[in-house]
Structure 1
Amino acid sequence: MVRDVKRYGIGVCVERLAPGMKAGAVIEEGNIVCVDASGYAVEAGEAADLRPVGRACETKDNSAGQDGAERINCEPGTYLLQNSSGADVVTMADFLKDVFFVNGGRVAKTSGGGKRSVAGKMMGLDGGRVAVSIGPR
């Protein structure tokens, strides 16, 4: 479980989204939520068809439900995620460029040959972590 995604910067998020969850999905509070190609919410991970929504405000379990049986409250915003390593490390040269999900708490500079989805825009570096603007803007 990631559960260490922290909001970056100052300000109150007045925007909340509540997408329906994918059948079988379990999403932990604090992890990054995406919707897949079907439009249903899943935890962020390495997949080519994800669209970022925001940080989960609660833990929800739809493991026994159908698509959309549960909804999950999410907050778009700028969050600190772990940086990748090696050739995929995000640097200040990537400021305002797209970065890509390695998993729900880590981003990389590249799409990994097209197998990773865009996490959001790189907004800065803070203590080795990457500030990423996530969600619709």
Structure 2
Amino acid sequence: MALTADRDTPQVVPSYSFLREFPVAAGKTIYAGGLVVLKNGYAEPGSTATGLVAVGRAEEYVDNSGGQNGDVTVRVRRGIFRYGNSADTDAITRTDIGSQCYVVDDETVAKTDGTGTRSVAGKVFDVDDEGVWVEFTN
């Protein structure tokens, strides 16, 4: 289930962790802690779709639900963050560490591309009982 409120998303801080700002897509709301993607150069919450570029974790809540492309910006941190694991045959396990994982929504990643319906989130850094640690390098 996609976010409906801000999320405290844990992180591992690699040496390349840094903040960037991206213009937010028209009609989109991004929650702090959510997985952020770029679609046609504009930030939006992660979702099941192709052609998205995952860029990291939102550092703040931004509401552009009534705005046009780029009316507001969102701060996004690049690094390693823990997100929810998908279920059943799409669940990520320790044997997937080092492999790509795929965006399901702004708080969940999966093992597969969903038969060509999902974009790459990043690489699986680790897996624990609370979720999947995803390394974002875009």
Q: Do residues 60 (structure 1) and 62 (structure 2) align? A: yes
Q: Given residue 105 of structure 2, which amino acid in structure 1 is its aligned partner? A: N
**Aligned residue among 15, 21, 28 for 2:24:** 21
Q: Given residue 28 of structure 1, which amino acid in structure 2 is its aligned partner? A: Y
Alignment match, 2:41: 39
Q: Do residues 101 (structure 1) and 79 (structure 2) align? A: no
Alignment match, 1:49: 51
In terms of fraction of residues, the more strand-rich structure is 2
Contact preservation (8 Å) 1:47, 1:117: yes
Percentage identity across aligned positions?
34
Contact preservation (8 Å) 1:17, 1:53: no
Distance 1:47 1:128, change over 3 A: same
TM-score by length of 2: 0.88
Contact preservation (8 Å) 1:13, 1:75: no
Contact preservation (8 Å) 2:8, 2:32: no
Deviations 1:95-127 (A, max 9, x none): 111000111111111000110111100011122
Runs of 4+ in 1 over 6 A off after TM superposition: none
Distance in 2 of aligned mates of 1:105 and 1:4: 11
Give 5+ residue unaligned stretches, structure 1: none
TM-score by length of 1: 0.89
Give 5+ residue unaligned stretches, structure 2: none
Q: Given residue 58 of structure 1, which amino acid in structure 2 is its aligned partner? A: E
**Aligned residue among 3, 6, 9 for 1:5:** 9
Distance 1:123 1:14, change over 3 A: closer
